[in-house]
Structure 1
């Protein structure tokens, strides 16, 4: 039987992060049959406008699909903080995201958010888990998202699948984006993701990075914002994260449109050409996340 945690208000993420880290020791076992939900969520237009400014979206009465990820992210952290979740938060790596927008969502629509953990899979460096979220407006499913996390050194039942061939990221002429040193703190202020690797140079160094790095979901949002006015109202957006984006830095954004209406996107280091993230966005069709 599924156990449900219902949140009646937006949780304090800093407190949840601290709880998840403090209770990491001694975890293990299978993924719990657990769902975290938050009903009757009303969007704060001022908070949405601040997010739009940081991520490059125009101000409007519709929610960027990546902002719906921001709304569901505290539920993910509540899931990580529950002692029944078998994997420790410390050392986890955000590998990729898939978003399906079934239709645009208006800023004044009351929403029901939910997340659950699925598909614990062996990986050559540990184990991966997909955290899947849904957003309903009334009875209508309007948004789905899946975040894949790697838990280094952890285990999951089964055989390690062979490494899949990754498609070559697009390259060529692109836009140069200069990312300021405080971008991690600015995105944290509008998303609530206060992981120290994004906020503090000392915190980043303590966790193995030479300096602060930008949030992966800022990169996702900024890349989507650059082409969102050229994709249909219902779309699928996929992104895989590569090398960390150090702050401050200059990156190159490349976008190629295909004959099937699918845009191929890449974020590269402006000097070395290293792939930092690759993504695609195109018509949703029958796309969904089970």
Structure 2
């Protein structure tokens, strides 16, 4: 039978982060994922907090809530799950690999939400163990939103076969580049390229997004901590990248859609990036690229659902 942690109010994320980090050393990945969900009911959207988030992420002010903001609301539940002593993997050194958001219909300011989060599908990865964290938002009995975040726990081990590596087409040449773990890899990538929107990212972007999201992971705010974790400097939150990319095509999004993002390389700040968006039959193909070298940082696809 599934155990539940019921949150009456949003937790203090700095305190929960500190607890999860402090207990990371004792988490060795042994044992299965707990049959545990974290729940918070009757969540109201604060219009002023939403407005601050929209400003940082490039969304327009409107009655419809961006799908990425709903990830903001479930993120405290995710961190509470990671901090629970039954969760076997350490927060320190974890990497957000992929994030898929499914908006079944627009959520409006004024609607109250019941939120839940649980972890599932621990499986091998060539650099450790990857786990899916599933989050859902209901209005009454109606499922209105789902999130699937895949995290990599580097250096952990689990029984099972490694998945086959897909062939990724980048274009006319194959390149070698460093992935978010700092290791060299040869990749080909089918992400769109060409002219696009150029964004100059300021050095304080991580702190600004932390203020509106609650994600106070120091690799996004402090270059010393980022370097200690293997990055050359401070890096942007993956969820800022996904939000900013969706915000750029906000007026072209259908009412119900699935937005899949793969975080390929760390987005360093300060820096300059380019969003390339191409409308294909039935979907938008997106790529966030380092502007000068055109390296793919984030690969995305947005498709309508019925």
Instruction: Pick the TM interval, shorter chain.
Output: over 0.9
Aligned to 1:235: 257
Q: Which blocks of at least 5 consecutive residues in structure 2 are unaligned?
A: 170-189
TM superposition shift of 1:231: 2.0
Q: 2:288 matched to which residue of 1?
A: 267
2:276 to 254, 257, 261: 254
1:284 to partner: Cα distance = 1.4
Structure 1 gaps of 5+ residues are: 286-290
Equivalences for residues 100-111 of structure 1 within 5 A:
100-111=102-113
- Show the counterpart of 1:17: 17
Q: Distance in 2 between matches of 1:83 and 1:166?
A: 38
Task: Give, in whole Å, the separation in 2 of the partners of 1:169 and 1:160.
Answer: 24
Match of 2:297 among 251, 261, 276: 276
- d(CA) in 2 for partners of 1:269 and 1:242? 12
Give matches, 1:107-186, under 5 Å: 107-166=109-168, 168-186=190-208
Q: Distance in 2 between matches of 1:145 and 1:184?
A: 22
Q: Secondary structure at the match of 2:198?
A: strand
How many Å separate the matches in 1 of 2:294 and 2:281? 26
Measured after TM superposition, the shift of residue 61 of structure 1 is 1.2
20-29 or 108-117: bigger deviation: 20-29
Deviation at 1:30, TM superposition (A): 0.4
Measure how far apart 1:166 and its partner are.
Answer: 3.2
The separation in 2 between residues aligned to 1:25 and 1:213, in whole angstroms, is 24
Q: Distance in 2 between matches of 1:63 and 1:207?
A: 34
Q: 1:26 to 1:201 in 2, by over 3 A?
A: closer
Q: Which residue of 1 aligns with 2:185?
A: none
In the superposition, the TM-score normalised over structure 1's length comes to: 0.96
Task: Determine the structure 2 residue equivalent to 1:288.
Answer: none
Cα root mean square deviation, aligned: 0.9
Tell me by how many angstroms 1:7 deviates.
Answer: 0.3
Match for residue 3 of structure 1? 3
Cα deviation per residue 1:170-207 (whole Å; 9 max; x = unaligned)? 10111110111100000000000001011112221222
State how far apart, in whole Å, the 1-side matches of 2:168 and 2:31 are.
31
- Per the alignment, residue 92 of structure 2 pairs with 90
Residue 163 of structure 1: CA displacement? 1.3
1:76 aligns with 2:78: yes
Q: In the alignment, which of 222, 227, 232 is matched to residue 200 of structure 1? A: 222
Counterpart selection for 1:190 from 212, 219, 222: 212
Q: Secondary structure at the match of 1:25?
A: helix
Specify the SS of the correspondent of 2:24: coil
Aligned residues: 284
SS of equivalent to 1:271:
coil
Give yes or no for the alignment of 1:54 onto 2:56: yes
Q: Give the whole-Å Cα distance in 2 for the aligned partners of 1:185 and 1:24.
A: 24
Moved beyond 6 Å, runs of 4+: none
